[in-house]
Amino acid sequence: MHSGTDHHIVGRFAPSPTGALHTGSLAAAVGSYLMAKQGGGRWLLRLDDLDAPRQVPGMADDIMRTLESFGLLWDGEVACQSRHLSEYRHFFEVLQRAGVIFPCGCSRKEIAQSASAPHLDDDCIAYPGTCRGRMKAGLAVRSWRVMVPEEEICFSDLRRGLICQRLPALSGDFVLRRGDGEFAYQLAVVVDDYLGGVNQVVRGDDLLASTPRQIYLQRLLGFSQPAYCHLPLVTDPDGAKLSKRDHLVSHRLGNVAGREQALLLAVLRFLGLNPPPELDGYSCSAILAWGVIHFNPLGLPARSGVVGF
């Protein structure tokens, strides 16, 4: 377990093996790699495989082979959420003993009907606090939720600047564990980053809304807060976020074989870099080495856009 005494940069890329990488996830991988390596740090790979029913057989291997084909070589062993269940349970019980968790019998439909706040980018529905004092008698436990504070949770994003969120208005008391015993993403990712010693989180803007909840859990558990940088999203030409079926980048499909360097250069341009023409004939490793030297988070685009490839 991470001791918290190592101050070297540790970044990570954490895809879910529910489908092949696409150009958006490749951009997130490259951005996190460049930032970690620019600081002389380590870049870890973690497979977020907690949602077993949605996993696609063979996809974890496809993701790893795809990253390798772009020269994106991770440090150390690949971590998997499915190996951390005992740790999730331990920290869930820590919060339970602290008295900040309560059982909830509300269905998603009931919460949606009573919620007045707008949905977050990650489709979170603000929980109105129905079971916070006490769950109604006769109801089955559908989830376990953590009580959130009234004060704003703020952090400084390396690209977006100061971000503040009032959890009661935008998420309410959020789920840490489902009634069937499965642990929720918010708790899992916080524990995962702690176990890996991750102190730099670079990921897409679609996860920005989750960050204050994760910071709140870090504070409750006494974990150090990583530095955060949320990257612009890769969209299709109409401005829509890419789905798992769009613009796939897959070793198994071989759909970018022989064009890895060109796509990598396009991703660097998307991330605000201006690679010189002479890089066209270089290997992916050499292109990444150039990117490490020249990457600047202050040069990241303000808005999402297309990877021109």
User: Which tens digit of pLDDT belongs to each residue from 199-231?
Assistant: 999 999 999 999 999 999 999 999 999 999 999
DSSP calls for 74-108: PSSPPEEGGG-HHHHHHHHHHHHHTT-EEEE---H
Tell me how many degrees the CA angle 1-6-3 measures, rounded to the nearest 5: 25
Indicate if 179 and 200 belong to the same structural domain.
no
In a domain, residue 37? The reply is yes
Q: Do 272 and 239 belong together in one domain?
A: yes
Which of 185, 207, 223 terminates a domain? The answer is 185
Clarify whether residues 76 and 198 are in a common domain: yes
pLDDT digits (tens, 9 = 90+) for 137-195: 878 899 999 999 999 999 999 999 999 999 998 899 999 999 999 999 999 999 999 99
β-strands 227-231, 200-204: how paired? Answer: parallel
Q: Which two tokens stand for residue 20?
A: 């092949």
Q: What is the pLDDT of residue 253?
A: 79
CATH assignment of the domain containing 170: 3.90.800
Verify that 198 and 295 share a domain, yes or no. yes
Q: Given 139, 163, 185, which residue is the final one in a domain?
A: 185
* CB-based contact 240:206 (threshold 8 Å): no
Residues 75 and 209 in one domain: yes
Residue 305 lies in a domain: no
Q: For residue range 113-136, what is the model confidence (pLDDT) as tens digits?
A: 765 544 444 556 788 888 998 887
Residue 197 has pLDDT above 70, yes or no: yes
Residues with Cβ within 8 Å of 277's Cβ and at least 6 positions away in sequence, in order, are none
Claim to verify: residue 75 and residue 119 sit in the same structural domain: no
Structural domain contains residue 307: no
Instruction: Enumerate the β-bridge partners of residue 46.
Output: 79
Shared domain for 284 and 150, answered yes or no, is no
Q: Is residue 90 part of a domain?
A: no
- The answer to whether residues 48 and 30 belong to one domain is yes
Residues 210 and 146 in one domain: no
Give the pLDDT score at 51: 80
DSSP 206: G
| Same domain flag for 81 and 207 | yes
Q: Is the pLDDT of residue 105 over 50?
A: yes
pTM (predicted TM-score): 0.91
Q: What is the CATH number of the domain that holds 268?
A: 3.40.50.620
Question: With the C-alpha atoms ordered 49, 108, 175, 90, is the resulting torsion angle positive or negative?
Answer: negative
208-225: b (≥16 Cβ within 10 Å) or e:
bbbbbbbbbbbebeebee
Total tally of structural domains belonging to the chain: 2
Residue 75: the pLDDT is 97
Residues with Cβ within 8 Å of 64's Cβ and at least 6 positions away in sequence, in order, are: 45, 78
Q: Does any domain span residue 68?
A: yes
Which of 185, 205, 227 is where one domain is finished?
Answer: 185
The SS3 assignment for 28 reads helix
Domain span at residue 215 reads 10-85+193-299
